[in-house]
Chain A
Amino acid sequence: MINTVILSYITFVYFFCFLAYLVLLVTGRQAFGKAATYLTIAGFAGHTVGIGFRWFESYKLGIGHAPLSNLYESLIFFSWAIILFYLIVEKRTRNKGIGAFVTPLAFLSLAYASFSGDITNGIQPLVPALQSNWLTTHVITCFFGYAAFALSFGMSIMYLIKVNEDKDKKGVIFNLIPGLSLLDELSYQMVVIGFLLLTLGIATGSVWAHTAWGSYWTWDPKETWSLITWLVYAAMLHARLMRGWKGKRLALISIIGFICVLFTYFGVNYLSSLHSY
């Protein structure tokens, strides 16, 4: 299938994006920044085409559905959402420093989808439980949320590195990246967006479960872990807004939150769950 071929090539494109952003960070030469941005935009365009092809092919097979129905398709969409959010942030902040910390996440997600042996990349027909309009709504809201959290995670890692570097007074590598307070603010804003989307994702999932499984909440491991993630970010927002936590401590909670996201996404596949991924 042509779509899986396109998408596996995009994996390499994102890897080169990561390298370009990294070189920009180290050398500070704007030419690499420009190249990185154009490459990322090109990769994103190709990525979108790949998803479009896959959608189209599913209709040609007579089992047409949005490509959001299995682990492979969700990984493709996850990395697409990460790059989309990143490009928006880059455009709005006019700062390319974050790229080196975000593009690898999109790269890893695509690489896992394309090159892992345990993931089937075929277009499968929808089982009756997945034949619902809630499928697209639920998956899109959840994964946009995950993507926002992924960006916050990248920014938090960056923050922690920069804090330590400022202490050491080296500051050679990271003179490009946004200032600490901007990084902190951006990371927080990403969590706000992610939290809103995760809430929407849980709510839509809940409404769907009510019509498909007969109960809006069944403590399915994936449900429970999404609640855990929600609680961690809820705690983070309260800590910041009500107790004035900032910087290092908040970056750490954001990292913990993203670990919960990853567990909700992947870890739960090892527990018995009604979710197909």
Chain B
Amino acid sequence: MTDKKKNPIWDILRSVKLTLFILSVLAAASIIGTLIQQEDTGIYYSLWFRFIIFCLAVNLIVCSIDRLPVTLKIFRHTPNPDRPKLFEEAEPRTLLFPNASVGAVSSIVQGILRSRFKNLAVKEHDNSSYIYCEKGRYSLFSVYLVHLSVLLILAGAIAGSIFGFSGYVNIPEGRSIDSVVITSGKDRGNKELGFVVRCEKFLIELYDSGEPKEYRSDLSFIENGKESLKGALRVNHPVKFKGIRFYQSSYGDMPGETVRIKALNSEKGEETTIEVGLGKAVTLPDNRGELTLSDIRDNLMNMLGPAVLITIKSPEGKETPIWVLKDRDTIKKKFSDMFELSQKFNPSAYAPFTFELYEMSSVTYTGLQVARDPGVPFVFAGFIMIIIGLFLTFFTSHRRFWIRISDEKGDVKVSLAGTSHKNPVGMERALDVLLSRLKETAMEGKHND
């Protein structure tokens, strides 16, 4: 493993400079994403964006692998209590115990330290006593926890994008669906759920201002003909069934299943109104054929507006399908009459009748968002871990203390020094606290005399 350190690629991958670079690139790419593609978030799912995130993950993993052995070494190793250099470098905090012996003072000091610190190590020579102790050894790992949680969140996101999906479905009040439209994730398009969802009732409550206060769908989930779950679905209160979550996301009106069609007989100049349900057949006046309502569309071909498909069977058995448009006049103005040359769009294709879509019933539908994301538990666990990790990283540190107790012409001098792997200001404060605690002890000792 030692030659790893000589590998130039490894050197680049483990560098914090690269981290800074990737973080900047990722930020810049995200900015571009919000400015260029406001409606479409496709950029964030593009290969090159994922590649940047991949680089960040690699950098993170390599940094951790690279630094972990050093951290473990510090974690396991108890340093030499006798470190004279530490007392030379900085101005050490000192304290005098007059007319005392090194041994007695050392045991008092050790008593104090033992209750507050860990891994006490003592060394004695040349009539001096050296003590080492420390605190917060586990804090060394807190930054690894933060980085691990970032990886966990990314893993959750990957799991979600591979095994998850999201889509929508509109269910008219009182009707059922057994499939949904998947818009992102695997299997885009129509997806069979394997069970039936029925919207028993849709309720909406408004504020005085007319804005919605609450809307709610009473759903029942039916599996193999048996109702397995009944639930009220509200905004902010999704319902989960067989690993798929349903969210109340919208509502609206859609064409109902019955329409009224006017049939004008041009020979007689007679007008008849026919009411017909989807899939049902009605006989035309004077037994001139049979009209079947074959289809109802909200917006035919996404531009022709509401329309119905009627199929007329002549007494001879010939079938004529016709799309009858609700907004025929507007559409004609918009596109010219040309499209009515096609038999399929000509309301007079079945002579002598001309058909007009007079009235469409409407029903309220509930708009549901449908999603399944097995990555969520990982992501949320990552969130909890990153918060704990950041807290430990910033507010705890591994503090190491060295105390020298030496004879100073009959008096005993106690010197304090220490280092911390971060937050040097906090370390200075900790040394001050320890010093004043020792001073108190020294004072108490005097009183006892």
Contact = CB atoms under 8 A, between A and B. Distances in A.
A129 B236 contact: yes
Contacts of A206: 379, 383
B390 A199 contact: yes
A32 to B, nearest CB: 29
A128 B215 contact: yes
B34 A224 contact: yes
Given A125-B209, A216-B376, A235 B34 contact: no
Interface string A215-237: 11111010011011001101100
B137 interface: no
A271 B39 CA distance: 9
Given A128-B236, A213-B249, 6 more contacts: A129-B235, A212-B236, A212-B247, A216-B373, A216-B380, A235-B20
A247 B280 CA distance: 80
Contact of B390 (A196, A207, A212, A238): A196
Interface residues of B, number: 49
Most B CB atoms within 10 A — which of A203, A217, A225?
A203
A219 B379 contact: no
Contacts of B103: none
Contacts of B34: 221, 224-225, 268, 271
Contact of A238 (B19, B209, B235): B19
12 contacts: A125-B213, A128-B213, A196-B387, A200-B387, A203-B383, A212-B247, A216-B379, A219-B41, A231-B27, A235-B24, A239-B20, A272-B38
Given A195-B390, A214-B247, A127 B23 contact: no
A189 to B, nearest CB: 9
A126 B249 CA distance: 16
Contact of B157 (A195, A217, A232): A217
A226 to B, nearest CB: 10
B16 A271 contact: no
Interface of A: 63, 125, 127-129, 131-132, 185, 192, 195-196, 199-200, 203, 206-207, 210-219, 221, 224-225, 227-228, 231-232, 234-235, 238-239, 241-243, 268, 271-272
Contact of A243 (B20, B207, B237, B380): B20
A185 B236 contact: no
Contact of A228 (B20, B27, B247, B391): B27
A153 to B, nearest CB: 18
Interface string B229-249: 000001111100000010111
Contacts of B391: 196
A210 B24 CA distance: 28
B389 to A, nearest CB: 10
B30 A196 contact: no
Contacts of B212: 127-128
Nearest to A196: B390
Contacts of A210: 376
B27 A219 contact: no
Contacts of A127: 211-212
A238 B371 CA distance: 37
Interface of B: 16-17, 19-20, 23-24, 26-27, 30-31, 33-34, 38-39, 41, 44, 157, 166, 207, 209, 211-215, 234-238, 245, 247-249, 369-371, 373, 376, 379-380, 383, 386-387, 390-391, 394, 422, 425
A200 B394 CA distance: 15
Nearest to A208: B236
B207 A242 contact: no
Contact of B30 (A125, A207, A228): A228
A215 B236 CA distance: 12
Contacts of B26: 231
Nearest to A128: B235
Nearest to A227: B30
When A and B form their complex, which 6 residue pairs have the shortest distance between CB atoms, in order from nearest? A128-B235, A203-B383, A219-B41, A235-B23, A214-B369, A242-B16
Contacts of B422: 241
A211 B425 contact: no
A63 B235 CA distance: 17
A213 B39 CA distance: 17
Contacts of B209: 125
Contacts of B20: 235, 238-239, 243
B299 to A, nearest CB: 23
A228 B379 contact: no
A243 B17 contact: yes
Contact of B41 (A125, A196, A213, A218): A218
A59 to B, nearest CB: 15
A219 B207 CA distance: 31
B383 A207 contact: yes
Contacts of B23: 231-232, 234-235, 238
Nearest to A256: B27
B44 A215 contact: no
Contacts of B41: 218-219
Contacts of A238: 16, 19-20, 23
Contacts of A207: 380, 383
Given A131-B214, A185-B425, A125 B207 contact: yes
Nearest to B157: A217
A224 B27 CA distance: 9
A211 B211 contact: no
Nearest to B208: A125
A207 B379 CA distance: 10
A55 B323 CA distance: 57
A219 B33 contact: yes
A218 B160 CA distance: 12
B177 to A, nearest CB: 17
Contacts of B238: 211, 214
Contacts of A232: 23, 27
B36 to A, nearest CB: 11
B207 to A, nearest CB: 5
Given A238-B20, A243-B17, A271 B236 contact: no
B302 to A, nearest CB: 21
A211 B39 CA distance: 22
Nearest to A207: B380
Contacts of B39: 272
Contacts of A196: 387, 390-391, 394
A227 B53 CA distance: 13
A207 B156 CA distance: 14
Contacts of A199: 386-387, 390
A198 to B, nearest CB: 10
Nearest to B19: A238
Contacts of A131: 214, 235-236
A235 B34 CA distance: 20
